[in-house]
Amino acid sequence: MSLINKDMDEKITTDIIINYLQNQVEQKLPIDPGTFLDAAEKLNILLGDEHEELFSLAQKCAIIKADKILEGKSVAMAKALLEASDDYRHMLSQKAKIERIVEFIRLAKLHARIKNDEIKGY
């Protein structure tokens, strides 16, 4: 499976790209530079969708916390109840996912720069 030759009917998402890369790593298969760069470019474009998801989750968590406070719970109790919720865990997972994507893009840039320098003979 190649990201470049992905079936045009299926919408490419960050999850598809990450799962593909993870599968390659788990099976100890090399990722060619073209696919590596293609994945980074696509992830960079799709990163906005991931941020929108994070913003929605953060808003949902804020509403949960506000509701607990309006129910008469203390701010500390509301925070503790929020942090125990699945929504909060999902928000933290989304933050971590975005951080991994950003780091992958940084690594791809570095990898491309190194390859370019090798070609130029630096």
pLDDT band at 118 (very low <50, low <70, confident <90, very high): confident
Q: Is 108 within a domain?
A: yes
Q: Does a structural domain hold residue 41?
A: no
Does the pLDDT at position 8 exceed 80? no
Provide the number of structural domains found in the chain.
1
Q: Which of the four pLDDT bands, split at 50, 70 and 90, describes residue 79?
A: very high
State the Cα–Cα distance between residues 12 and 19, nearest whole angstrom.
11
User: For residue 34, what pLDDT band results from cuts at 50, 70 and 90?
Assistant: confident
Name the pTM for this structure.
0.82
Return the pLDDT at 3: 56
Using alpha carbons, list the distances in angstroms from residue 78 to 60, 61, 66, 81: 14, 11, 8, 5
Region of residue 28 (phi > 0: left; psi between -120 and 50: alpha; otherwise: beta): left
Is position 24 within any domain?
Answer: no
Q: Is position 102 within any domain?
A: yes
Residue 119 inside a domain? The answer is no
1 band by pLDDT with thresholds 50, 70 and 90:
very low
pLDDT: which is higher, 110 or 50: 50
Asked whether residue 55 is assigned to any structural domain, the reply reads: yes
Mean pLDDT of the chain: 91
Residue 26 lies in a domain: no
Question: Could you tell me which residues come within 8 angstroms of residue 104 by beta carbon, excluding any fewer than 6 positions away?
Answer: 21, 39, 40, 43
Q: Which domain does 87 fall in, by range?
A: 48-112
Lowest mean pLDDT among 3-7, 31-35, 48-52, 97-101: 3-7
Question: Which one, of 41, 53, 48, lies nearest residue 105 by Cα?
Answer: 41
Q: Is the residue at 36 inside a domain? A: no
